[in-house]
Amino acid sequence: MKHAVIYIPGLGDARVSGQLLAIKTWNWYGVHAELFQKNWIDGERFEPKFLRLLSRIDELVEQGYAVSIVAVSAGASAAINAYAARPDTIHSVVCIAGEINGRDRMHPSVYQKNPAFRDSMHMIEASLPRITPAMRRRILSRRGALDISVTAKDSILPGAINQVVPTMGHAITIATQILFGAPSFIQFIKHLPARNVDSI
C-alpha cells in the first residue's frame, strides 16, 4: 500500500517555507507528502477551499494512494470536515495542537480576520457526529503539555488516540512535532489496515 500525506497548516499560513521544508523530510519515511495551503486570511470563504481539498484527495485516491491528512492548529478543523466528507477513502487523520472543539471559545477577532476558519469551525459541528467509533480509532490527536492558544479541551476527541507531548507552547509543539514527531505519526499511519478491511 502506497501512502500520500496531505499537510494542512493553521492560521498565518501566508508564509510556510519552514513547514514546507519539514514536510519534505516525511518522504524519507516512505510516504508522498505535500502541503495544502488554505490561505485562511485571504478573504475567500471556506467552501471553495474545502472543495479544492476534496478534489485533491480524490485525485490521489485515483492514483492508488491511501490518503491521510496531517493538520495543525486551525487546519485540524478542515481535516475533520474532510474525513466526514470522505469517510470511505481517507486512511487516517493526525491532528497536532488541533482546534477541534473550541468554536464558541474563539475570540471574535480571529474569525473576523479569518472568515474561512469561522466557516470551518461551524461545519465541524455537523461533521463530528458523523465520525464513527471506527473512524475515530484512525485519528491521532497530539497536544502539548501546556498550550494557551489551543487548550486540551479544544484538542481532545473522545474515541481517538489522544496523546500529550512534552512541549510547552503552541508554536513549539507544532514545530517539534512536524519535524521530530513525524517518524512516530507516520508509523501510526502506515500500520493501520487498509480502509476496506475496516467496518465502520
Residue 122's domain is classified under what CATH number? 3.40.50.1820
Instruction: Give me the number of domains the chain comprises.
Output: 1
Q: Mind listing the pLDDT tens digit for each residue in 97-112?
A: 999 997 777 888 888 8
SS3 state at 72? strand
Which three cell numbers mark 22? 519539514
Q: Is the per-residue pLDDT at 6 higher than 70?
A: yes
Q: Is the per-residue pLDDT at 148 higher than 60?
A: yes
- Chain-centroid distance of CA 184 in Å reads 16
Q: Mind listing the pLDDT tens digit for each residue in 12-71?
A: 877 788 899 999 999 999 999 999 988 888 989 999 999 999 999 999 999 999 999 999
* Domain interval for residue 167: 2-197
Q: Is the per-residue pLDDT at 121 higher than 90?
A: yes
Task: For residue 165, list its beta bridge partners.
Answer: 144
Contact 96, 178 (CB under 8 A): yes
Q: Mind listing the pLDDT tens digit for each residue in 161-195?
A: 999 999 999 999 999 999 999 999 999 999 999 97
The whole-model pTM stands at 0.93
In 3D space, the residue among 128, 126, 108, 130 whose CA is nearest the CA of residue 118 turns out to be: 108
Q: How far is residue 145's CA from residue 173's CA, in Å, rounded to a whole number? A: 9
pLDDT band at 197 (very low <50, low <70, confident <90, very high): very low
Contact 5, 32 (CB under 8 A): yes
